[in-house]
C-alpha cells in the first residue's frame, strides 16, 4: 500500500497534520482545562488517519518520535506567536535539515504520481519532512501570521487562521466567548466597586 500524500496536496496535509500533532501530543491545557492523559498511540492514529496507509504502518515504537516532533513544532508556533519569525524559521530549518524530502514518482493503477518520499521510507522521517515543509511554505510565502496559538486563558491549542484579514486570536468560538464573558464580568465587578 502506498502513501496517499501526493506532492500536489501534501502542503495542506503538512500544515493540517502539524497543527493536529501539536494539539494532540504537545498540549497540556485546552479550552480552559487541563488535558486528560490519553494514549498517545490512539491520538496519533487519529491524526494520521488523513493518510490511511500511515495508520497501517504505525507502530508503538514510533510514538516517542512523533511526540518529540510535536514538541518541536509547538516551539515553532510559540516563536511565531511572539512575533519571532527568525526564531521560527531556524527551528523549521533544523527539522528540514534532519529529514529532507525526496520527491519520487510511483506508478499506481497505471498512473504516475509524484510522492513526497519513496514509498518504503520510514514513517517518522516522512512525516517530519511533510510537516516541516508545510510550515516552511507558510513562513516562506509570507503567511507566518496565519499560524496561531489560542489567546484564551488555559488554552494552548494552535490553529490555522483562514480568516479574511488574518486576525484570529482564538482556537474556537468557545474560547472566544469564554474570554468575552470573563471580560464582561470584570467590567461589571469594577463598576460595582
For the chain, what is the radius of gyration of the CA atoms? 19
x/- letters, 121..150, toward Zn ion (CB under 5 A): -----------------------------x
**Which is nearer to Zn ion, 3 or 18 (by Cβ)?**
18
Shortest Cβ 177–Zn ion spacing (Å): 11
**Which 159-188 residues touch Zn ion, going by CB under 5 A?**
171, 175
Helix axes 40-47, 10-25, angle to 10 degrees: 160
- Which of 8, 22, 32 shows the shortest CA–CA distance to 151? 32
Distances (CA, A) of 100 to 37, 95, 157, 168: 32, 8, 27, 32
Shortest Cβ 81–Zn ion spacing (Å): 13
**Which is nearer to Zn ion, 73 or 129 (by Cβ)?**
73
**Which is nearer to Zn ion, 133 or 156 (by Cβ)?**
156
- Helix residue ranges per DSSP H, the chain: 10-25, 40-47, 52-57, 63-81, 85-98, 123-140, 173-192
**Which is nearer to Zn ion, 56 or 174 (by Cβ)?**
174
Shortest Cβ 26–Zn ion spacing (Å): 15
Shortest Cβ 31–Zn ion spacing (Å): 6
Shortest Cβ 15–Zn ion spacing (Å): 18
Is 152 a binding residue for Zn ion by CB under 5 A? The answer is yes
Among 155, 159, 178, 179, binds Zn ion (CB under 5 A): 155
Give me 145's grid cell: 501570521
Give me 181's grid cell: 464573558
- Which of 58, 60, 88 shows the shortest CA–CA distance to 76? 88
Please report, as ranges, the residues that interact with Zn ion according to CB under 5 A.
Answer: 150, 152, 155, 157, 171, 175
Amino acid at each position: 500500500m502506498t502513501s496517499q500524500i501526493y506532492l500536489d496536496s501534501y502542503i495542506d496535509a503538512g500544515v493540517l497534520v502539524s497543527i493536529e500533532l501539536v494539539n494532540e501530543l504537545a498540549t497540556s491545557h485546552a479550552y480552559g482545562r487541563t488535558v486528560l492523559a490519553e494514549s498517545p498511540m490512539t491520538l496519533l492514529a487519529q491524526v494520521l488517519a488523513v493518510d490511511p496507509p500511515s495508520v497501517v504502518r504505525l507502530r508503538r515504537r514510533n510514538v516517542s518520535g512523533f511526540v518529540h516532533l510535536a514538541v518541536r513544532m509547538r516551539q515553532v508556533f510559540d516563536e511565531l506567536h511572539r512575533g519571532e519569525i527568525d526564531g521560527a524559521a531556524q527551528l523549521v530549518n533544523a527539522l528540514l535539515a534532519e529529514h529532507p524530502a525526496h520527491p519520487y514518482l510511483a506508478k499506481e493503477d497505471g498512473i504516475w504520481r509524484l510522492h513526497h518520499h519513496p514509498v518504503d521510507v520510514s514513517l517518522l522521517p516522512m512525516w517530519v519532512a511533510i510537516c516541516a515543509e508545510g510550515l516552511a511554505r507558510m513562513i516562506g510565502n509570507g503567511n507566518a501570521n496565519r499560524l496561531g496559538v489560542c489567546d484564551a486563558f488555559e488554552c494552548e491549542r494552535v490553529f490555522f487562521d483562514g480568516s479574511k484579514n488574518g486576525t484570529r486570536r482564538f482556537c474556537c468560538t468557545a474560547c472566544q466567548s469564554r474570554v468575552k464573558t470573563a471580560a464582561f464580568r470584570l467590567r461589571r465587578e469594577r463598576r460595582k466597586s
